[in-house]
Amino acid sequence: MTVITQERPKKEIKISWKKIFLFIAIILVLLFCLAPVLWQLLTSFKVNEDISAVPTVYFPTRFTLAHYIELFDRRPFLRYIFNSAFVSITSTLLALAIGAPAAYTLARLNIRGERPILASVLIVTLFPGILLFLGLLEIIQKLGLANNYLALIIPYTAINLPLTILVLRSFFEQLPKDLEDAAKVDGYNTWQMLIQILLPMTVPALVTTGILTFIAAWNEFIFALTFMTQENMKTIPVAAAQLGGASAFEIPYGPIAAATVLGTLPLVLLVLFFQRKIVQGLTAGAVKG
User: ∠ CA 129-226-44 to the nearest 5 degrees?
Assistant: 95
Contact predicate 230/124, CB 8 Å: no
Sign of CA dihedral 100, 164, 232, 265: positive
Q: C-alpha distances in angstroms, 112 versus 60, 117, 124, 214?
A: 65, 9, 20, 32
Residue 245, classed as helix, strand or coil, is coil
Give the nearer residue to other proteins in terms of CB position, either 135 or 176: 135
Give the nearer residue to other proteins in terms of CB position, either 30 or 179: 30
Q: How many residues bind other proteins (CB under 8 A)?
A: 116
Query: Binders of other proteins among 243-282, rule CB under 8 A?
Result: 243-251, 253, 256-257, 259-260, 263-264, 267-268, 270-272, 275, 278-279, 282
Q: Nearest distance from residue 207's CB to other proteins, in Å?
A: 16
Sign of CA dihedral 203, 205, 206, 208: positive
Residue 257's nearest CA partner among 37, 35, 32 is 37
185 touching other proteins, by CB under 8 A: no
Query: Binders of other proteins among 215-234, rule CB under 8 A?
Result: 215, 218-219, 221-222, 225-227, 229-231
Q: What length does the chain have?
A: 289
Return the range that interacts with other proteins (CB under 8 A); candidates 30-38, 61-69, 173-181, 199-207. 30-38
51 touching other proteins, by CB under 8 A: yes
Indicate which single residue of 11, 61, 131, 185 sits in contact with other proteins (rule: CB under 8 A). Answer: 131
Region label for 175, one of left (φ > 0), alpha (ψ between -120 and 50) or beta (otherwise): beta
Residue 220's nearest CA partner among 232, 206, 207, 235 is 235
33 touching other proteins, by CB under 8 A: yes
Q: Nearest distance from residue 177's CB to other proteins, in Å?
A: 14
Query: Binders of other proteins among 88-107, rule CB under 8 A?
Result: 98-99, 101-102, 104-106
Give the nearer residue to other proteins in terms of CB position, either 61 or 134: 134
Give the nearer residue to other proteins in terms of CB position, either 29 or 65: 29
For residue 266, report the phi and psi dihedrals to the nearest 5 degrees. Answer: -55, -35
Q: Nearest distance from residue 63's CB to other proteins, in Å?
A: 18
Q: Nearest distance from residue 161's CB to other proteins, in Å?
A: 6
